[in-house]
């Protein structure tokens, strides 16, 4: 056998092995074990790095785990290998949508629709993406302080009538009560709709309850006098000096504030000057202090870089140093970054969310970086547990509590999500 023949045979054997790995990855994907699916797609690519399908499949697995930066990279690589591979355009469009790059997404959706004009799903996604692009252009064109008034202000809610045949939940004297909340939960479980007047009334209540003071009094009534900071001047509320269990007491009134929680909560919470809690994680550069966090311009859309972006979007990694974010924004930070930040700010550990974890939580960086994720079976498909933490005693030692998802209603998973974000690919 010639040297060329031997090389050809070896290549065929590698490709056959790669196909077996791909099939194994596909089976993990079907079982919603996306981490193992990614692992075996990666192994297949090591044997056959010029296969566009492997990159496209791994891109979809990354999308399911919200690693949008990695997903975008894989979809782009698939198209570099095969510019006619239509699924690559689909994956890249979805990645760009998740990253807020709507014009780039629209361009790829246009390609898919042009190649497959009879594909209803592709046409729907193109139309919805096009609508978003046009809407954002319109908002930029008319943007002014005078137009920031709520639509609710222009409605005559009091004179709206509720039809006699409507037997759903109603507000009592315009107030959200515990009975209303229980009735509403039962009503929604039966897939029924709240009357538009009630919906407008609730929305009006939300707008009137916009202060962080109202929210903090609601969440921490017995400890409110220990809180400081407000949404206009401070991005980091500080809880001082009390021992025992830190807990939030939710009431029916929480519904009034629900849609504005993320607008009015601080960017970070420092508990007993020992633990810093945030959504994402630490920073792209060393040297950020708690005072720096307090000085961030909170009331704006998050930028693509900087401390505010990092607090919302960064993720921990096992190795030292920093690396490019798997999400396509901010960074990934190692245990050495965590150690330096804690030492500079005289903290014990950080608690962050933002990542699905199979057990609902994960402790990394030698116990100094805790991830807690409270949504079980995330997006109706991940199969993960949820968790929350109790911080007890003066040392605030974390105590983890896990829980699983309740039985799913008799509706399609993610039925009420924007179809562009359901990640249902071709």
What is the DSSP-derived secondary structure letter of residue 175?
B
What per-residue confidence (pLDDT) applies to 199? 84
Which residue segment(s) compose the domain that 186 sits in?
151-202
Q: Are residues 197 and 343 in the same domain?
A: no
What per-residue confidence (pLDDT) applies to 238? 63
Please list, in sequence order, all residues whose beta carbon lies within 8 angstroms of the beta carbon of residue 334, skipping any fewer than 6 positions away. Answer: 316, 317, 318, 319, 320, 321, 322, 365
- Just list the catalytic residues: 231
Is 421 a domain residue? no
What per-residue confidence (pLDDT) applies to 255? 44
pTM of the model: 0.73
Q: Looking at residue 231, which CATH number applies to its domain?
A: 3.60.21.10
Is 265 a domain residue? yes
Is 297 a domain residue? yes
What per-residue confidence (pLDDT) applies to 234? 64
- Count the domains in the chain: 3
Find, among 60, 50, 56, 48, the residue nearest to 21 by Cα.
Answer: 48
What per-residue confidence (pLDDT) applies to 247? 39
Q: Are residues 177 and 239 in the same domain?
A: no
Q: Are residues 349 and 385 in the same domain?
A: yes
Residue 276 three-state SS:
strand
Provide the 10 A C-beta neighbour count for residue 204: 17
Q: Are residues 120 and 173 in the same domain?
A: no
Give first-to-last CA distance, the chain, whole Å.
43
| Residue 130 to residues 72, 97, 101, 418, Cα–Cα distance (Å) | 20, 11, 12, 14
Q: Are residues 284 and 307 in the same domain?
A: yes
Task: Judge contact between 119 and 112, C-beta under 8 A.
Answer: yes
pLDDT per residue as tens, the chain (426 positions): 566 667 777 888 999 999 999 999 999 999 989 999 999 999 999 999 999 999 999 999 999 988 999 999 999 999 999 999 999 999 999 999 988 899 999 999 999 999 999 999 889 999 999 999 998 888 777 765 544 555 556 667 778 888 989 999 988 887 778 888 889 888 988 888 889 888 888 776 655 555 445 545 554 454 444 434 444 446 766 654 444 344 333 334 444 444 445 555 678 888 888 999 999 999 999 999 999 998 898 777 888 899 999 999 999 999 999 999 999 899 999 999 999 999 999 999 999 998 999 999 999 999 999 999 999 999 888 889 999 999 888 889 999 999 999 888 777 777 766 555 554 444
Q: Are residues 7 and 111 in the same domain?
A: yes
Q: Give the integer Cα–Cα distance in Å for 7 and 40.
A: 24
Residue 120 three-state SS:
helix
Pull the structure tokens for residue 166: 């409507």
Q: Are residues 249 and 299 in the same domain?
A: yes
């Amino acid at each position: 056998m010639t040297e060329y023949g031997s090389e050809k045979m070896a290549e065929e054997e590698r490709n056959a092995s790669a196909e077996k790995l791909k099939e194994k990855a596909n089976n993990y994907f079907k079982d919603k074990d996306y981490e193992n699916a990614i692992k075996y797609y990666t192994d297949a690519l090591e044997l056959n790095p010029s296969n566009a399908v492997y990159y496209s499949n791994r891109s979809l697995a990354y999308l399911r785990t919200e690693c949008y930066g990695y997903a975008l990279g894989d979809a782009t690589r698939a198209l570099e290998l095969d510019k006619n591979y239509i699924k690559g355009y689909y994956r890249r469009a979805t990645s760009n949508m998740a990253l807020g790059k709507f014009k780039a997404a629209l361009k790829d959706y246009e390609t898919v629709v042009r190649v497959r004009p009879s594909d209803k799903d592709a046409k729907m996604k193109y139309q919805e993406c096009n609508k978003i692009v046009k809407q954002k252009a319109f908002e930029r064109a008319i943007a002014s302080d005078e137009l920031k008034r709520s639509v609710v202000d222009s409605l005559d809610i009091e004179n709206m009538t509720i039809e006699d045949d409507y037997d759903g939940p109603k507000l009592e004297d315009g107030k959200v009560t515990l009975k209303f909340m229980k009735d509403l939960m039962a009503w929604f479980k039966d897939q029924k709709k709240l009357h538009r007047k009630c919906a407008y009334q609730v929305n009006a209540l939300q707008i009137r309850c916009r202060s962080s003071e109202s929210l903090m009094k609601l969440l921490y009534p017995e400890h409110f006098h220990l809180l400081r900071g407000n949404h206009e001047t401070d991005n980091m509320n500080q809880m001082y000096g009390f021992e025992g269990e830190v807990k939030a007491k939710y009431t029916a009134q929480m519904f009034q504030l629900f849609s504005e929680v993320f607008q009015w909560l601080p960017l970070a919470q420092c508990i007993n000057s020992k633990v810093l809690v945030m959504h994402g994680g630490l920073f792209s550069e060393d040297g950020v202090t708690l005072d720096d966090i307090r000085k961030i311009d909170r009331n704006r859309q998050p930028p693509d870089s900087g401390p505010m972006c990092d607090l919302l979007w960064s993720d921990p990694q096992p190795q030292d140093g920093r690396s490019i974010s798997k999400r396509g924004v901010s960074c990934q930070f190692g245990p050495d970054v965590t150690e330096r930040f804690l030492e500079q700010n005289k903290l014990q550990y950080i608690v962050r969310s933002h990542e699905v974890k199979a057990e609902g939580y994960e402790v990394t960086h030698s116990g100094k970086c805790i991830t807690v994720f409270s949504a079980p079976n995330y997006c109706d498909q991940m199969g993960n547990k949820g968790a929350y933490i109790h911080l007890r005693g003066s040392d605030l030692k974390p105590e983890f509590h896990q829980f699983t998802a309740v039985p799913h209603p008799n509706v399609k998973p993610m039925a009420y999500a924007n179809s562009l974000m359901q990640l249902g690919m071709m």
